[in-house]
Structure 1
Amino acid sequence: MARIIKAFGVALGVALVMVAMSSCGLLNRGSLTRGTAYPKMYEEHPTAILIMPPINKTNKVEAKESVYATLYMPLANKGYYVFSPFLSQELLQSESGYDAEQFIDGSLTPFLKVYGADAVLFTTITRWNKLSALSQIEVAIEYTLKSTRTHEVLFHRSANVTIDASVISNSGSLLLDFIVNTVATALTDNVVGAKKANAFILQDLPEGKYSPLYLNDKEEAAGNPNVEAFTVR
């Protein structure tokens, strides 16, 4: 009887965790795999990605700079060749194309012909709210990867989450820890927040050509395309 009660308790606990994860948008309700969620990625096999400057719909200038500067690594870690954001920015500015909004619904063929990019990543920031009393940032960002050949959307995810941008210090002194964390957060919270948000959302991107898992992740469970009410640590 005790074993039955224990087993029931474990099953109930797992069920509650699954419900909680589902309500936060971490699990795809349709239990889709990456192959079914992002079929165009496996059809076109993009290798080189150009990152457009974020479309910032907030009044926080630092949000755009922080997100743009921290998009390179998550994509490179996924096995893609990524044009340096700073180099891309200079090239776009020389063509009077710093504003990504003029390209998101337009032709992307020039990026293929001029730069050799297979896909272009657009990000749209609609919320960036720093919680002054806490080392947290409330963010809402939309990520859209579009083909330069077909102009179709290859990958799309959005996040409306809270980012924990705290820097942990364990000096043994509560006062010293508070001072260290406060100073560190004031200097780095935007960058840390952007880095965590980008890594969290792009972890669902199918593996690129330079990844050892390339084309072997089609059966991996896909995340929910719209993640909400979740704290990223």
Structure 2
Amino acid sequence: MKGFISRISTLLLIASSALLVGCQTTAPKRDLAAYEAANPRSIVVVPIVNKSLDVDAPNYVLSALPVPIAEKGYYVFPVNTTKMVLEQEGFYEPERVHEQPPETIAKMFGADAVLFVTINQWDAQYIILSTTVTVDFEYRLVSKTGEELWKNTQRMQYSPNNSNGGLIGMLVSAAIARAAPNYMPLTIQANSMALRTGQNALLDGPYLKEKLPQQK
């Protein structure tokens, strides 16, 4: 009996150590001279390359991108309209869009810069008494003349915590998270960290409220 209790305690300890929200970034490639020369005011976000197994992942990520970009001070072309225009031009696969010269895409919309996003990971893994939900994105901003202005990656994890319900509660929470993982909060947080608030965030755009002159 003592051995069984000891094993359960060990499992609970391991599980509780996994109930963390984590994020990881890598230093972006910044070329301030190129950025200042490009002076981007508008950004077109093209369809997302998806390296995960979830076919719906790009739609979730794409829907969460315009807000943090706009809050950073840029005009963002409507993502649904962008997708429709590209498809009318024969670009149905995101991989093919990402292979096109950024100059071509920018000219198509009259945009100052193009944002390419890749989903590297989007999954939920069951570990002992916990399910860990993970998202991993890569961002790359290129000017209308082809210069890379900014690059960043963002990886975030979350494990739902229901330790108040004891062992059964933890098992139920893990099972629910595994069956129907909620990716949107992580996606919104990852985009915000990478684009708007993180130490490696996108540089401020011309329409940032703090930059606008105060009305007298």
TM-score (norm 2): 0.68
Equivalence for 1:107? 101
Q: CA deviation at 1:183?
A: 7.0
* 1:54 and 2:51 aligned: no
**2 CA distance for matches of 1:158 and 1:70?**
16
Q: Which whole-Å CA distance do the structure 1 matches of 2:44 and 2:186 have between them?
A: 22
Structure 1 residues 95 and 42, CA, compared in 2 at 3 Å: closer, same or farther? same
Structure 2: which amino acid aligns with 1:140?
D
* Whole-angstrom distance in 1 between the partners of 2:121 and 2:135: 5
8 A contact 2:44–2:106 mirrored in 1:
no
Residue correspondences, number: 179
| Cα contact 2:30–2:149 (8 A) shared by 1 | no
Q: Deviations over 1:5-61 (max 9, x none)?
A: xxxxxxxxxxxxxxxxxxx86696xxxxx9x93412222111111111110012111
Q: 1:38 to 1:141 in 2, by over 3 A?
A: same
- How far does residue 96 in structure 1 lie from its aligned partner after superposition? 1.8
Query: What residue in structure 1 maps to residue 193 of structure 2?
Result: 200
Aligned Cα root-mean-square deviation (Å): 3.3
Name the aligned partner's letter for residue 89 of structure 1.
K
For structure 2, list consecutive stretches of 5 or more residues without a partner in the other structure.
1-22
Residues 136 and 113 of structure 1, relative CA distance in 2, 3 Å threshold: same
Counterpart amino acid of residue 101 in structure 1: E
CA distance in 2, matches of 1:26, 1:109: 28
Q: Does 1:45 align with 2:39?
A: yes
Quote the residue 1:13 is aligned against: none
The 5 Å alignment of 1:125-204 reads 125-132=119-126, 134=130, 136-148=132-144, 150-159=145-154, 161-164=155-158, 174=165, 189-203=182-196, 204=201
Percent identity reads: 28
CA distance in 1, matches of 2:210, 2:26: 22
1: CA distance between counterparts of 2:77 and 2:132?
30
